Chains A and B, each alone.
Chain A
Amino acid sequence: MGKHYMGMYIAKRILLMFLTLFIIMTMCFILVKLLPLPAVKEMGRDINLVLAKREKMGYNKPIMVQYFLFWKNILTEWDWGVGEQMYEGLVVWDVMIDKLPYTVLVNLYSILIAIPIGLAFGIFAALKKNKWQDHLISTLVMVFISVPSYVYAFIVQYFLCFKAGWFKLTMPSVSELGGTLLSGRVFVALIPAILSLGFGVVANLTRYTRAELSEVLTGDYMLLARTKGLTKAQAISRHAMRNAMVVILPMIISDFIGILGGSLIIENIFGIPGVGNLYINSINVRDYNFFMAMSVFYTFIGLASGIVMDVSYGLIDPRIRMGSKK
Chain B
Amino acid sequence: MRKLLALVLALCLCAGMVSALADGFTPAESYDPGERVFNGGEITTVKAGSGTGSTVGTDVYAGIEGKDYTDEKVYTYNDYAETIGSSMNWDPLSWETSSDSAVLDYISSGFYSFVLNSDKSGYSVVPEMAAAEAVDVTAEYVGQFGVQEGETGKAWRIALNQDATWENGEKITAEDYLYSIKELLNPKTLNRRADSYYAGQWQVYNAKNYLYSGRTSYDLITDTPENLMANGETVYVEMYDFYGMNNEGCVDENGNKCPKYLAVTDETLYRDAGVPEGEDGDWVSGKVVFETYFAAGAMYESYANQYCYTADIAPETTWDQVGFVMVDEYTIDFILANPVEEAAFYVPYYLSSTYLVYKPMYEECKAFWDADGNPVETEEEAATITTTYGRTLETTMSYGPYKLASFELDKEYTLARNEEWYGYRDGKHLGQYQTDFIKVTVIAEHATAMLAFEKGEIDGIALQSADMEKYGTSQYVKYGPNNGYTTKLTFNTDYDKLVSRGTNSQVLVIDEFRQAFSYCYDRREFATAYTAAGTAGFGLINELYCYNPFTGAYYRQSDEAKKGLLRVFDVKYGEGEEYATLDEAYEAMTGYDMEKAQALMAVAYDKAVAAGIYDGESPIEIEFRVYQSDEIYVKMFNYLNEHLQEACKGTGFEGKVTLKMTVDADYYETNYSGGADMIFTTWGGATMSPFTLLYECYCDACDGSGQQMEYGYDTSKITVVFVVDGKEVSDTLQNWALWCDGGAADHIIEEIGKFSDYDYDTRCFFFANLEAAFMSWYPTTAVYYRNTASMDSQKVQSGSDKYVTLVGFGGIQFMTYNYDDAEWAEYITNNTLEY
Q: Which residues of A contact B (CB under 8 A)?
A: 36, 39, 41, 43-53, 56, 58, 60-62, 64-65, 69, 82, 86-90, 95, 98-99, 154, 157-158, 161-162, 165, 168-175, 268-269, 271, 273, 277, 281, 285
Residues in A with CB closer than 8 Å to B192 are 49-50, 53
Check if A60 sits within 8 Å of B406, measured CB to CB. no
Knowing A173-B406, A174-B408, the reply to whether A271 touches B87 (Cβ < 8 A) is no
CB distance from B477 to the nearest CB of A (A): 21
Residues in A with CB closer than 8 Å to B386 are 56, 82, 89
Check if A173 sits within 8 Å of B408, measured CB to CB. yes
Residues in B with CB closer than 8 Å to A82 are 386
Q: Which of A43, A60, A165, A269 contacts B246 (CB 8 A)?
A: A60
B190 interface hit (Cβ, 8 Å): yes
Residues in A with CB closer than 8 Å to B85 are 86-87, 95, 273
Q: Which of B444, B669, B685 contacts A271 (CB 8 A)?
A: B444
Interface string of B305-328 (1 = CB under 8 A from A): 000000000000000000000000
Knowing A87-B86, A88-B89, the reply to whether A170 touches B410 (Cβ < 8 A) is no
Knowing A43-B707, A45-B195, A48-B219, the reply to whether A271 touches B246 (Cβ < 8 A) is no
Knowing A39-B666, A43-B707, the reply to whether A99 touches B451 (Cβ < 8 A) is no
Residue of chain A at shortest CB distance from B387: A89
Residues in B with CB closer than 8 Å to A158 are 451
Check if A169 sits within 8 Å of B219, measured CB to CB. no
9 contacts between A and B (CB under 8 A): A44-B200, A53-B190, A56-B386, A95-B409, A175-B408, A268-B444, A269-B448, A271-B443, A285-B86
Residue of chain B at shortest CB distance from A95: B409
Bound-state CA distance A51–B190 (Å) is: 10
Interface centre among A48, A82, A87, A98 (most CB of B within 10 A): A48
Residues in A with CB closer than 8 Å to B208 are 46
Knowing A43-B697, A48-B219, the reply to whether A273 touches B452 (Cβ < 8 A) is no
Check if A273 sits within 8 Å of B707, measured CB to CB. no
Residue of chain B at shortest CB distance from A150: B445
Bound-state CA distance A162–B89 (Å) is: 34
Residues in A with CB closer than 8 Å to B476 are none
Check if A170 sits within 8 Å of B240, measured CB to CB. no
Residues in B with CB closer than 8 Å to A171 are 411
Q: Which residues of B contact A (CB under 8 A)?
A: 85-89, 96, 190-192, 194-195, 198-200, 208, 212, 217-220, 240-241, 246-248, 260, 373, 384, 386-388, 391, 406, 408-412, 441-445, 447-448, 451-452, 454-455, 457, 666, 668-669, 672, 685, 696-697, 707
Q: Which of A60, A64, A89, A285 contacts B391 (CB 8 A)?
A: A89
Residues in A with CB closer than 8 Å to B88 are 87-88, 90
Check if B194 sits within 8 Å of A174, measured CB to CB. no
Check if A86 sits within 8 Å of B86, measured CB to CB. yes
Bound-state CA distance A128–B688 (Å) is: 75
Residue of chain B at shortest CB distance from A53: B190
Check if A39 sits within 8 Å of B194, measured CB to CB. no
Check if A48 sits within 8 Å of B217, measured CB to CB. yes
Check if B391 sits within 8 Å of A169, measured CB to CB. no
Residues in B with CB closer than 8 Å to A89 are 89, 386-388, 391
Bound-state CA distance A97–B199 (Å) is: 39
Bound-state CA distance A52–B391 (Å) is: 21
CB distance from B301 to the nearest CB of A (A): 20
Main secondary structure of the interface of B (DSSP, over half): loop
Bound-state CA distance A88–B192 (Å) is: 12
Check if A49 sits within 8 Å of B191, measured CB to CB. yes
Residues in B with CB closer than 8 Å to A95 are 85, 409
Residues in A with CB closer than 8 Å to B441 are 170, 173, 271
CB distance from B196 to the nearest CB of A (A): 9
Instruction: Rank and list the top 10 A-B pairs by shortest CB-CB distance, nearest first.
Output: A273-B410, A46-B195, A268-B444, A173-B412, A273-B411, A48-B217, A52-B190, A86-B86, A62-B247, A162-B451
Check if B444 sits within 8 Å of A269, measured CB to CB. yes
Check if B190 sits within 8 Å of A49, measured CB to CB. yes
Bound-state CA distance A58–B386 (Å) is: 14
CB distance from A264 to the nearest CB of B (A): 10
Knowing A99-B409, A162-B451, the reply to whether A268 touches B89 (Cβ < 8 A) is no
8 A-B pairs besides A45-B195, A47-B220, A271-B443 with CB distance below 8 A are: A43-B697, A48-B212, A49-B192, A95-B85, A170-B448, A171-B411, A268-B444, A268-B445
Check if A65 sits within 8 Å of B195, measured CB to CB. no
Bound-state CA distance A39–B666 (Å) is: 9
Bound-state CA distance A36–B387 (Å) is: 26
Residue of chain A at shortest CB distance from B452: A169
Residues in A with CB closer than 8 Å to B384 are 56
Check if B448 sits within 8 Å of A49, measured CB to CB. no
Residues in A with CB closer than 8 Å to B411 are 171, 173-174, 271, 273
Q: Which of A161, A162, A269 contacts B445 (CB 8 A)?
A: A269
Check if A273 sits within 8 Å of B409, measured CB to CB. yes
Bound-state CA distance A214–B195 (Å) is: 72
Knowing A39-B666, A157-B451, A169-B452, the reply to whether A46 touches B199 (Cβ < 8 A) is yes
Interface centre among A69, A89, A157, A172 (most CB of B within 10 A): A89
Check if B87 sits within 8 Å of A86, measured CB to CB. yes
Bound-state CA distance A46–B194 (Å) is: 9
Residues in B with CB closer than 8 Å to A46 are 194-195, 198-199, 208
Check if A49 sits within 8 Å of B194, measured CB to CB. yes
Check if B408 sits within 8 Å of A273, measured CB to CB. yes
Residues in A with CB closer than 8 Å to B200 are 44
Check if B443 sits within 8 Å of A88, measured CB to CB. no
Residues in A with CB closer than 8 Å to B452 are 169-170
Residues in B with CB closer than 8 Å to A88 are 87-89, 96, 391
CB distance from A278 to the nearest CB of B (A): 9
Bound-state CA distance A99–B195 (Å) is: 34
Residues in A with CB closer than 8 Å to B387 are 89
CB distance from B60 to the nearest CB of A (A): 30
Interface centre among A49, A98, A157, A161 (most CB of B within 10 A): A49
Bound-state CA distance A39–B672 (Å) is: 11
Residues in B with CB closer than 8 Å to A58 are 373
Check if B246 sits within 8 Å of A62, measured CB to CB. yes
CB distance from B456 to the nearest CB of A (A): 11
Residue of chain A at shortest CB distance from B447: A154
Bound-state CA distance A87–B454 (Å) is: 31
Residues in B with CB closer than 8 Å to A168 are 457
Check if A49 sits within 8 Å of B246, measured CB to CB. no
CB distance from A271 to the nearest CB of B (A): 6
Residues in A with CB closer than 8 Å to B408 are 173-175, 273
Residues in A with CB closer than 8 Å to B195 are 45-46, 49
Bound-state CA distance A59–B217 (Å) is: 17
Bound-state CA distance A122–B443 (Å) is: 37
Residues in A with CB closer than 8 Å to B212 are 48
Residue of chain A at shortest CB distance from B385: A56
